[in-house]
Chains A and B, each alone.
Chain A
Amino acid sequence: MTAAAEPPTVRLEGVVKRFNTTTAVDNLSLDVGKGEFFSMLGPSGCGKTTTLRIIAGFEQPDEGSVFLEGLSVENTPPYHRNVNTVFQSYALFEHLNVWDNVAFGLRRKKVPEAEIRKRVSEMLDLVRLKQKATSKPRQLSGGQQQRVALGRALVNLPAVLLLDEPLGALDLQLRKQMQIELKQIQRTVGITFVYVTHDQEEALTMSDRIAVMNEGVLQQCGTPEEIYERPANAFVAGFIGISNLIPGALEGPGVRLQTGQLIPADLEDGMAPGEAVLLCVRPEKLRLNSRADGDASVEGIVAETVYLGTATQYVIELAPGVRIVAIENNTQTASSDKRFARGSKVVIGWLPEHGRVLRS
């Protein structure tokens, strides 16, 4: 987080938003620092877009307050907020050409025409649309339209740029390319980005910090590494990447799995012996038949092998009904006879600190 002297660019305090009987956003508090690439990640209907619309001013929160650059914006209409949005549908002005689309915001602010010309021209360079200045939006490809929407918002140099699944409509190839481009642009202009997505990979690749939401409730907020390596609960562990969640109960300094083994693991404060928990281990942390000293380990039988190119994925049955996934890089094995076959018995080991105990 940024230095205490500077207020966070965006601050939400206990924000609640209800639509009829459903609560779209439930008691949400978070801070976004200056220049941060902040993502809000969650399945559809988790309240991330509503949160974005609250920050933009299109929705009023039922409870709580929103601060932009340290000031409450309770009664500030969207057009007086120092915030711009890239909409999911791009929402370009079809009747205006690319140049006029990008110049729209500056003209509303009565910026002198010479400056408008300079800034729009620079922005079109940045989003690589100089050649398309006189084209109408419908003459552009999806990726180009997306860049117009981005340029139209960024040219105003807002305190925060809100992006609502901006890459959702693009095909995979273009999406990957735009992810990198977007991140580069963000670094160039140094503007705070609040980015809404349901794509966990996208969030991990681009963000400085991620807020994971589910059913209107903030689940965890942290760096991509924190979220991936130390998920706060089973939802986060399951939503981001693949997780093995093995049920068990706390016992002494570890977890007694349902399969019977006692596994050493780091416990959090406030966990009582006997409590039902889930032991969460990422598949790539598992080592097959190469146990090191101090490893936690279990035995199992390979039930399924899937060749993924760079890696091989094994589904291993620890006990009837308890299966875990292990992923092993194909760094040393170039032929199938070096890999474990279905039905072979394996010992699975991992470092105790890679196991994370979650309340079930």
Chain B
Amino acid sequence: MVIEQARIDAPSAEAPKVAGGRPRPRSRGFDAPRFLPVITGLVFVYLFAPILVVTWFSFNSKQSLNVFGTPSLQWYDQLIHDPIITGSLFASIEIALVTMVVATVIGTLLAFGLVRARSHFSRPTDILMLLNLVSPEVVTGVALLLVFSEAGGFLLQFGIQFGLSLATVVLGHITFSIAYVTIIVRGRLAALNREVEEAALDLGATNVSAMRLVTLPLLWPAIIASGLLVFVMSFDDFVTSYFTTGVGVEPLPLRIYSMIHFGVTPEINAVGTLMMVMTIVVVLAALALFTYQQNARQELAFLAE
């Protein structure tokens, strides 16, 4: 009987206005997800609980990692007065920024080459780039270390000092970052209607100004997105940094690793929280910048270019 009733109810629930009555809650179909919210919730807990714990305990007044005392900023205070940690933080930001700029430029150019140049080299280049992407980072790390030491020895013959330093870390990061940029930008570029660029030429734009006024503006979202990805990946990279860094200031992830040798301290929680906040801020800032740009363009439409 219950099934009978449900069947009769279903159509009237679909069209409550025709029936003239108040809209009734739509009856649940046999395939309506029942446990979806629960499962989704569990996945989120699994994903974010560790991060929340780290963040929470970074504000702990106690040294303990499992008993929370009172809220306090003492670990942050200790952090910013620790010249080694702040030095590492700034070194990592510096590395990430340089890597982002260089890799984004090279990766974008490569994307243009792969999509636009009708060359016999396109396909092999494509494969090499993907190979770079999937090759184990430890292997590339070791390889980079060998290359840099060889190069150092070679350049020394000409009186040029070249050793492992933050510069070699940047070089290492760039090698694995280019492929990410290329893949993201290439997707967008391939989807771009060729007629749009032809329209720009048709309307009197030279090749260079068509690129500046039409192609690049349409590619910006992809370029910015890939740049951000590179920044974040470079910022928290460990493996490549480990093999390519020299003596002196360490990138932040290496610093944290060294600190753990002396036990996990709340200070590490604070550093971790700080790194996470930085990453989120970078992404939000770029998003805000992007929305602002679009609005500004709309408002300034009637003003001179």
Contact = CB atoms under 8 A, between A and B. Distances in A.
A94 B301 contact: no
A338 interface: no
A108 B305 CA distance: 11
Contact of B204 (A92, A99, A105, A113): A105
Interface string A80-94: 100111011101111
B301 A89 contact: no
B206 A85 contact: no
A50 to B, nearest CB: 14
B167 interface: no
Interface in A73-119: 77-80, 83-85, 87-89, 91-97, 99-100, 104-105, 107-109, 113, 117
Interface residues of A, number: 35
A140 to B, nearest CB: 15
B198 A58 contact: yes
A89 B196 CA distance: 9
Contact of B199 (A80, A91, A95): A91
Nearest to A81: B202
Contacts of A87: 195, 198-199
B203 A104 contact: yes
A99 B301 contact: yes
B299 to A, nearest CB: 9
Contact of B202 (A78, A92, A97, A100): A78
Interface in B212-226: 213-214, 217-218
Which of A79, A83, A133 gathers most chain B CB within 10 Å?
A79
B229 interface: no
Contacts of A95: 214, 217-218, 297
B203 A105 contact: yes
Contacts of A83: 202
A139 to B, nearest CB: 11
A83 B204 CA distance: 9
Interface in A253-287: none
Contacts of B298: 97, 134, 136
Contacts of B305: 107, 113
B304 interface: yes
A22 B298 CA distance: 47
Contacts of A96: 297
B32 to A, nearest CB: 34
Contacts of A79: 201-206
A84 B200 CA distance: 10
Interface of B: 193, 195-196, 198-206, 209, 213-214, 217-218, 297-298, 301-302, 304-305
9 contacts: A58-B201, A77-B206, A78-B202, A79-B201, A79-B204, A89-B195, A91-B193, A95-B218, A107-B305
Given A79-B206, A136-B298, 7 more contacts: A79-B203, A85-B198, A91-B195, A92-B196, A93-B214, A108-B203, A156-B203
Interface of A: 56-58, 77-80, 83-85, 87-89, 91-97, 99-100, 104-105, 107-109, 113, 117, 133-134, 136, 152-153, 156
